[in-house]
């Protein structure tokens, strides 16, 4: 993470990351609220103020704080203890004592990210980077790997990709293929590959489309001319229709020999792109099979150059 200077009380608007999941049934409802935040480095206190929109019950909210990559989750009881209320309405402030709650003292090397997630739809409501916009590292840097992570839970019929996480160095797999024409089977040399996330999508004979992207003007964006997608996946059957696309450019499809194998494979492909804005970063998977088949995705990362 980038180096930041936290001095006194700083106040800034939230940097909002929007994530969209396209499904046949239509998108689930996500609450619409506006939040302002500030951090008092002298007392290690984080303030989140409800500044507009709907009231929200704390039983419907997951509040995640990441300090220099260390993830902290505030429970419903802890949120209520910070406010003395069961819900969050206009003007209410959540006051989090980082040292009292997690033993964290802020200093000049810290960068703080806050994620507000709707528990029902498991969709991101807002993301904040503090203390001052532009002080923490940019969302993405050219030549570095970033993976898309998921909201925690047992909801296995959706992948709710909510934010990019720096994973440089990218992956510690035994072999990332140099050739870009074939996928690589994982679990070679008699060692089985054990998935960590393993999100399953029941296709049910319909096309499955997955898109992630970000709002315009949320971040300063460096130009990129090539995109590499690294994905760990498993298929149960040969698709009758199949397409992959990033930033409007078609990508090679999965190696057909890997279909119907029910084994884990690594997809590693690079394509030229014309990316001028963060909002252009969208990756689509369209798969169509007959019968109750599924696609499993354990890992999805991107590197731009």
Same domain, 230 and 98: no
The pLDDT of residue 266 is: 78
Same domain, 99 and 233: no
The pLDDT of residue 192 is: 65
Please give the residue that has the higher pLDDT: either 267 or 151.
Answer: 267
Q: Which of residues 137, 166, 184 is at a domain's end?
A: 137
Please give the residue that has the higher pLDDT: either 78 or 35.
Answer: 78
In a domain, 298, yes or no: yes
Same domain, 181 and 300: yes
- The tokens for 220 are 């300063």
Give the Cβ contact number of residue 187 at 10 Å. Answer: 13
Q: What percentage of the chain carries pLDDT values higher than 90?
A: 0
Round to whole Å and give the CA distance between 172 and 122: 29
Residue 103's CATH number: 2.60.40.10
CA-nearest of 247, 281, 264, 267 to 200 is: 264
Round to whole Å and give the CA distance between 232 and 230: 7
Please give the residue that has the higher pLDDT: either 132 or 220.
Answer: 220
The pLDDT of residue 43 is: 74
In a domain, 1, yes or no: no
> Which range has highest mean pLDDT (134-138, 171-175, 197-201)?
197-201
Same domain, 123 and 169: no
In a domain, 194, yes or no: yes
In a domain, 3, yes or no: no
In a domain, 4, yes or no: no
Structure confidence at residue 130 as a pLDDT band (50, 70, 90): low
- Count of structural domains, the chain: 2
Q: What is the DSSP letter of 119?
A: T
Same domain, 118 and 161: no
Give the Cβ contact number of residue 50 at 10 Å. Answer: 21
Q: Which of residues 137, 168, 186 is at a domain's end?
A: 137
The pLDDT of residue 165 is: 45
Same domain, 166 and 281: yes
In a domain, 91, yes or no: yes
Burial of 127 (0-12, 13-18, 19+ CB in 10 A): buried
In three-state secondary structure terms, 98 is helix
Q: What is the DSSP letter of 211?
A: -
Give the Cβ contact number of residue 253 at 10 Å. Answer: 17
Q: Which residues pair with 235 in a beta bridge?
A: 295
| Cα angle for residues 39, 58, 17 (degrees, 5° grid) | 55
The pLDDT of residue 166 is: 45
Query: What is the enclosing helix (H) or strand (E) of 77?
Result: helix 76-83
Mean per-residue pLDDT, 190-212:
63
Round to whole Å and give the CA distance between 25 and 276: 32
Give the Cβ contact number of residue 76 at 10 Å. Answer: 16
Please give the residue that has the higher pLDDT: either 115 or 165.
Answer: 115
Mean per-residue pLDDT, 273-289:
72
Same domain, 288 and 185: yes
Same domain, 222 and 297: yes
What digits encode the pLDDT tens for the residues 88-128?
A: 888 888 888 888 888 887 765 567 788 888 887 777 887 77
Q: Which of residues 107, 137, 167 is at a domain's end?
A: 137
CA dist 228 → 163, 184, 301 (Å): 18, 15, 8
Is the confidence at residue 72, as pLDDT, over 80? yes
Same domain, 191 and 76: no
Is the confidence at residue 66, as pLDDT, over 80? yes
The pLDDT of residue 150 is: 45
Same domain, 162 and 21: no
Is the confidence at residue 60, as pLDDT, over 80? yes
Mean per-residue pLDDT, 181-189:
51
Structure confidence at residue 151 as a pLDDT band (50, 70, 90): very low
The pLDDT of residue 62 is: 87
Q: What is the extent of the structural domain holding 172?
A: 145-149+155-304
Q: Which residues are CB-neighbours of 126 under 8 A, at least 6 positions away?
A: 14, 16, 17, 33, 35, 115, 116
The pLDDT of residue 4 is: 35
In a domain, 178, yes or no: yes
The pLDDT of residue 204 is: 62
Round to whole Å and give the CA distance between 253 and 246: 12
The pLDDT of residue 123 is: 79
Please give the residue that has the higher pLDDT: either 183 or 50.
Answer: 50
42-52-136-160 Cα dihedral, nearest 10 degrees:
130
Residue 163's CATH number: 2.60.120
The pLDDT of residue 32 is: 80
Same domain, 169 and 204: yes
Mean pLDDT of the chain: 66
In a domain, 206, yes or no: yes
Pick the range with the lowest mean pLDDT from 150-159, 190-199, 219-228, 296-305.
150-159
Same domain, 174 and 261: yes
């Amino acid at each position: 993470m980038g180096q930041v200077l936290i001095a006194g009380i700083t106040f800034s608007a939230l940097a909002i990351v929007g994530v969209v999941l396209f499904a046949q049934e239509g998108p689930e409802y996500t609450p619409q609220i506006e939040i302002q935040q500030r951090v008092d480095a002298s007392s290690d206190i984080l303030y989140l103020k409800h500044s507009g929109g709907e009231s929200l019950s704390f039983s419907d909210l997951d509040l995640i704080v990441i300090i220099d990559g260390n993830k902290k989750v505030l429970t419903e009881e802890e949120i209520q203890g910070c406010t003395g209320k069961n819900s969050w309405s206009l003007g209410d402030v959540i006051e989090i004592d980082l040292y009292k709650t997690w033993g964290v003292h802020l200093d000049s090397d810290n960068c703080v990210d806050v994620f507000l997630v709707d528990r029902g739809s498991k969709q991101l409501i807002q993301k904040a980077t503090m203390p001052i916009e532009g002080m923490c590292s940019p969302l993405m840097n050219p030549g570095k790997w970033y993976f898309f992570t998921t909201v925690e839970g047992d909801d296995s019929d959706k992948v709710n990709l909510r934010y990019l996480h720096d994973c440089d160095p990218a992956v510690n797999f035994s072999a990332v293929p140099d050739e870009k024409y074939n996928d690589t089977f994982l679990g070679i040399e008699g060692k089985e590959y054990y998935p960590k996330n393993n999100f399953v999508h029941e296709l049910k004979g319909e096309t499955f489309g997955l898109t992630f992207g970000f709002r315009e003007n949320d971040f300063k964006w460096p130009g990129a001319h090539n995109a590499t997608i690294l994905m760990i996946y498993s298929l149960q059957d040969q698709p009758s229709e199949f397409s992959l696309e990033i930033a409007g450019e078609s990508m090679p499809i999965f190696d057909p020999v890997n279909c119907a194998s029910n084994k884990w494979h690594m997809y590693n492909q690079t394509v030229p792109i014309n990316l001028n804005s963060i909002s252009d970063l969208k990756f689509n998977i369209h798969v169509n099979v007959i019968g109750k088949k599924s696609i499993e995705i354990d890992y999805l990362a991107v590197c731009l150059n």
